Structure 1
Amino acid sequence: MSSPILIVGAGPVGLCLACELARYGVPFRLIEKRPEASKTSKALGIHARSLEMLEDMGLVDRFIERGLKVHRMNFYAGGKQLTHVNLSEVDSKHNFTLDLPQNLTEALFIERLAEMGHKVERYVELMGLSQDEDGVAVELRKKGGVVEKSTYPYVVGCDGSHSIVRKILGMHFDGNAYPEHFALADVHIDSALAPDEMHMFFHGDGFLILFPMRDKRFRVIATVSTTDEPELDEAYFQQLMDKRTKQQSHISDGIWFSNFRIHHRIVQEYRDGRVFLAGDAAHIHSPAGGQGMNTGMQDAYNLAWKLALKSENLGDLLESYSPERQPIGRGVVELTDRMTKVATMQNPVGAAIRNRLLPVMASLGIVQHKMVDSIEEIDVNYRDTKCVGEYLGAAAASTRSPFAQGPQPGDRAPDAIVTQSESGKPTRLYDLYHGPHYTLLLFISSDANEDELSHMKLTLEQSQRRLGKWLKCACVSGRKLPRGLDSTDYVYLDARLTAHKNYGVTQVQALYLIRPDGYIAFRSLPLDGNSLIAYLNRLKIGTV
């Protein structure tokens, strides 16, 4: 694929996709009809799974430096705290939500693109699109009304909720608008409320949420009456704060005020031939949970490596994009819909029940942990898709086997710290996974015999020939290396057996193939190289 991929829309999703394609060395063209990048904060929260994605991209430190770590979500009614959710419980190194205004998110992506020699083409608007089996013909209107006609192998619509790409394709955007109206403000608030935590207040007139930013600034979102047309200013939001929070506070220095309605909509397919949709072009939903931008960026993260694999003629997994991401988008739409209905409940009896049940449910560890994993999108998985697989021997097939309880194909690969056998340096598995490649993770017992070692080495050789530069290998033993296995740069010790435990491996050999996006593509217990090759053959991945 020597011709560039056309990305329509340079918001966070389009920019994320562009950065990923640049990292993979895939040519692209990024167009945007807006004359300049966003100047308002818009989407704020970046969740744990997205932070892991940004770490893989080499960007997470820049984002954290500019943002605010949020570790708690607090819920109130009648001016009293009902309960809280501890985001630190999430199973990730990044055990927090990072609040960062969207304009800064875009600026950091643009900065990274410039470092890699790319930029956004502004004043360029998509006017028409048609496709056949050879490519996608587009008509673009550039600054000054100049019309350009070009053809691209693929087009990705990252052009938001009013997507022209989606409209040209005639895709139905199924869903509805919520009846409530909302008001928004970015203001400075002096109060006793923790300035680095989220605060949600339930009230008979509607809810009010405070999303923290740096320097005691907050995003305020509140449901408002559909009959009133108030002037949105500091005084109006001060009244809302006083009435709904019952907290002593002072609002000042407002820099953005807006009112809006929200929708919950999703397309049934994220792909039409050679054209793909990502982000708000494919799904929009309530801002409850702050998952919109995150889900969109992860759409881009999922699609990028598949476009790269296709560009190098090493496999065509593009058919898996919609089956993997559409159910995730639908799940987010459904989750945020439930959260919004609970938050906006006006019936006094229903609200009283909500206020009683919320503390009870949040006090249950398993409920809170599940809630946190959903909010932080750690629980996203692709188990029920055709692009994952496994081979289970008799022992592993038993329900008593730890492997059967370990991460399944399609799950996010767990992290752990192992020790490099030559240098003795502690190393995170995630550090091994980072980069545009698959990772072959082999677990070999410390008392492995000669035949087992020979089979492991043969599996390594076959896999390396098959995937070439697209494969990185890591062999993990226990507290010591088995006799006959030399210390090399791909051999690691797991003295505390943390990696073994996290992957459900005990005394037998096992194999995991980790995808470039950090999800498990294939697993095998016992370690069976033939089953791995059969899996790659089924998906036609690599060179035969």
Structure 2
Amino acid sequence: MVIGAGPTGLTLAVALRRYGLDTVVVEKEPGTKREPRAGVIWQRALEALRDLGCADALTRHGLPLSRAEFHVRGRLAGIQEMRMPDTAFPGPLSIEQDAVEKLLHDRLRHLGPDVQWSTEALAVRTGEDGAEVDLRGPDGRTRTIGCRWVVGCEGAHSVVRKSLGVPFEGERRHDLQCLQLNAAPGWSHPGHPDVTRIFINLGVTLITTPVPGGGVRFYAFLPDPDPGLGEPPSPREMEAVVAAATGEPSVRLTPTAPGWANRSRFHDRVAATLRRDRALLAGDSAHLWAPIGGRGLNTGLLGAHNLGWKLAAVHRGWSPATLLDTYSDEQRRTALHVMRAMRRNVLELPPDRRTLAAIALLLPPALRSARLEHRGNMLLSELARDHRGSALSAGRHTRGGPRPGDRLPDLAVTSETGPGRLHDLLSYQRWSLVLVGGPDGPGTAALRKLTDRYALPIGLFHVTPHPRGRRALPDGTLLLTRPDGHIGLRARATDHRALKAYLDRWSVRRA
């Protein structure tokens, strides 16, 4: 049972149904959200959604973004090209959360029963063999449902987390508010459907992103002198904020339909554990922070992508239950890393005079540096996200190329099926054993015989990278790649002992 039909819950349910698991989704609201809310999906999350058969529908409805303009004290400081190589999704996608939920819901319906809407989880109890969930349905009656697993994806006030007594560690973020408004602007900047703009000025950072259907999402980070003020910003209040950020004395904002205006404050919190017995936590039930950098939605989607294949492997008896502990460890580590990074994100937090002066001095040369631009894009796209510290990451890093725990790069390669992209050989339904360089021979037959002893489904591929990618994938390398595209084991292609030891730990042997 998945509790909560937001983006994280729907993504997880799709992932589980892709593995054939009977998955029930309950949601206390009567339907998917009608509010735009989060607005950008970054490249790594798009790769994850492609694994689940959702990316094509999202890209048809969204706007691909290609560059960001930075303005400091009302002047253009530079441009950052956001397009990345070695991925099927060169740029991030502007698409609002209500559209994301609708498309994920359509995909879920294609794979099985609908969400049980207007159904609220009241309490959860877990045991060694499963869990019980008390539900109140649309008729007001209460019933108890038994399930093998329960996952809380219902948000910051998670009933699953509270029922389990898991501490939600952290604190409220003080003196920071975010104002949002969807509007058609009357100002001096021409409209470009692929350009995000960041305006940095004293005490305010304003970010603008074009949205599908016309108009622009304005969101500003400001100090919070009146925490008791809860009303959404009016167009006039937002115009004053935009004027202060851009330095333009005359700005007009005409709200677009459907309307979206919001004033929010934040907590920085992470659950002490994301797994207890047969219950797990994902999305805002597990972690939350200020929406700086657009990380919340994307971290939740990638967490569901991480959890889905692991839960399926344990449920089907392919892997020991300790595999689920790696989800908790990896996702908590990721959440804490994102939280620390967002606290230090001086380009989006409202600057004081000293910080603003430093940004005005250092940002223009930084934006002219190709190396720094690439590094920034790797961080924003989340293609650099890794699980190097995970118990699932094993092996030695030699002669360059990706390390255990890294995302396998989507390079141009030649395989048994001819030229193509490396990610086209991967599948969310299985592990992939990638052998770099060298012909298919007796060693390959021995590897196939070895992997066939284990319950985990594993595909085996010989690849030869194109010349540009040979440094990233050295010849003679064995890369056992997880269903989510991260490298579990890196070893020499002839090191069958390392592969056997890894599979003995993480897979059950066939009867």
The 8 Å contact of residues 513 and 522 in structure 1, kept in 2 or not, is answered as yes
Per-residue deviation at 1:115? 1.2
* Distance in 2 separating the partners of 1:464 and 1:498: 33
The 8 Å contact of residues 70 and 99 in structure 1, kept in 2 or not, is answered as yes
Partner of 2:368: 363
Q: Which has the larger radius of gyration?
A: 1
Judging changes above 3 Å, is the alpha-carbon distance between structure 1 residues 335 and 182 closer, same or farther for their aligned structure 2 residues?
same
Matched, 1:332 2:338: yes
* Distance in 1 separating the partners of 2:194 and 2:185: 12
The 8 Å contact of residues 2 and 26 in structure 2, kept in 1 or not, is answered as yes
Judging changes above 3 Å, is the alpha-carbon distance between structure 1 residues 346 and 457 closer, same or farther for their aligned structure 2 residues?
closer
The one of 435, 453, 456 equivalent to 1:442 is: 435
Partner of 1:218: 216
| Structure 1 residues 366-381: aligned runs within 5 Å | 366-381=371-386
The 8 Å contact of residues 75 and 84 in structure 1, kept in 2 or not, is answered as yes
Judging changes above 3 Å, is the alpha-carbon distance between structure 1 residues 124 and 231 closer, same or farther for their aligned structure 2 residues?
closer
Per-residue deviation at 1:241? 2.3
| Structure 1 residues 271-310: aligned runs within 5 Å | 271-310=275-314
The 8 Å contact of residues 309 and 428 in structure 2, kept in 1 or not, is answered as no
User: Gaps (5+ residues) in structure 2?
Assistant: none
| Structure 1 residues 343-354: aligned runs within 5 Å | 343-354=348-359
Instruction: Among all aligned residue pairs of Structure 1 and Structure 2, give the percentage whose two residues are the same amino acid.
Output: 28
Matched, 1:503 2:468: no
Matched, 1:320 2:323: no
* Secondary structure in 2 matching 1:436: coil
**Structure 2 counterpart of 1:436, one-letter code:** Q
Instruction: String of CA shifts for 1:244-287, please: whole Å, max 9, x gaps.
Output: 21357542233122211122221231112221111111111121
Partner of 2:261: 257
* Distance in 2 separating the partners of 1:61 and 1:160: 27
| Structure 1 residues 427-466: aligned runs within 5 Å | 427-445=420-438, 453-466=441-454
* Secondary structure in 1 matching 2:83: helix
**Structure 1 counterpart of 2:423, one-letter code:** Y
**Structure 1 counterpart of 2:339, one-letter code:** V
Per-residue deviation at 1:10? 0.4
Matched, 1:84 2:51: no
| Structure 1 residues 197-236: aligned runs within 5 Å | 197-224=195-222, 226-227=225-226, 232-236=233-237
The 8 Å contact of residues 42 and 382 in structure 2, kept in 1 or not, is answered as yes
Per-residue deviation at 1:330? 0.6
The 8 Å contact of residues 283 and 333 in structure 1, kept in 2 or not, is answered as no
| Structure 1 residues 16-415: aligned runs within 5 Å | 16-89=11-84, 91-173=86-168, 174-191=170-187, 192-193=189-190, 194-224=192-222, 226-227=225-226, 232-247=233-248, 250-254=252-256, 255-316=259-320, 317-339=323-345, 343-390=348-395, 403-415=398-410
* Secondary structure in 1 matching 2:399: helix
* Distance in 2 separating the partners of 1:410 and 1:251: 46
Matched, 1:8 2:11: no
**Structure 1 counterpart of 2:422, one-letter code:** L
**Structure 1 counterpart of 2:205, one-letter code:** F
Partner of 1:486: none
RMSD: 2.2
Partner of 1:516: 483
* Secondary structure in 1 matching 2:375: helix
The 8 Å contact of residues 190 and 216 in structure 1, kept in 2 or not, is answered as no
Judging changes above 3 Å, is the alpha-carbon distance between structure 1 residues 361 and 377 closer, same or farther for their aligned structure 2 residues?
same
**Structure 2 counterpart of 1:234, one-letter code:** P
The 8 Å contact of residues 232 and 261 in structure 2, kept in 1 or not, is answered as no
The one of 490, 505, 509 equivalent to 1:538 is: 505
**Structure 2 counterpart of 1:320, one-letter code:** T
The 8 Å contact of residues 185 and 252 in structure 2, kept in 1 or not, is answered as yes
Per-residue deviation at 1:421? 4.3
Judging changes above 3 Å, is the alpha-carbon distance between structure 1 residues 30 and 239 closer, same or farther for their aligned structure 2 residues?
same
Judging changes above 3 Å, is the alpha-carbon distance between structure 1 residues 512 and 349 closer, same or farther for their aligned structure 2 residues?
closer
Per-residue deviation at 1:342? 5.2
**Structure 2 counterpart of 1:512, one-letter code:** L
* Distance in 1 separating the partners of 2:363 and 2:155: 34
Instruction: String of CA shifts for 1:61-93, please: whole Å, max 9, x gaps.
Output: 211110011122222122111223221146533
Higher mean alpha-carbon deviation, 174-183 vs 328-337, is at 174-183
* Secondary structure in 1 matching 2:365: helix
User: Gaps (5+ residues) in structure 1?
Assistant: 1-5, 398-402, 479-493
**Structure 2 counterpart of 1:115, one-letter code:** H
* Secondary structure in 2 matching 1:434: coil
Matched, 1:527 2:494: yes
**Structure 1 counterpart of 2:449, one-letter code:** E
* Distance in 1 separating the partners of 2:73 and 2:273: 44
* Distance in 1 separating the partners of 2:487 and 2:508: 15
* Secondary structure in 1 matching 2:194: coil
Matched, 1:418 2:423: no
Instruction: String of CA shifts for 1:211-245, please: whole Å, max 9, x gaps.
Output: 22134411111245534968733233233323321
Instruction: String of CA shifts for 1:434-479, please: whole Å, max 9, x gaps.
Output: 3411111123425x8xxxx2122111222134246x1222123x5x
* Secondary structure in 1 matching 2:29: coil
* Distance in 1 separating the partners of 2:429 and 2:390: 22
The 8 Å contact of residues 415 and 461 in structure 2, kept in 1 or not, is answered as no
**Structure 1 counterpart of 2:290, one-letter code:** S
* Distance in 2 separating the partners of 1:421 and 1:521: 23
TM-score, with normalisation over the residues of structure 2?
0.92
Judging changes above 3 Å, is the alpha-carbon distance between structure 1 residues 528 and 205 closer, same or farther for their aligned structure 2 residues?
closer
Query: How many residue pairs end up in the alignment?
Result: 500
The 8 Å contact of residues 232 and 262 in structure 2, kept in 1 or not, is answered as no
* Secondary structure in 2 matching 1:243: helix
* Secondary structure in 2 matching 1:13: helix
The 8 Å contact of residues 84 and 362 in structure 1, kept in 2 or not, is answered as yes
* Distance in 1 separating the partners of 2:232 and 2:383: 40
* Distance in 2 separating the partners of 1:353 and 1:330: 27
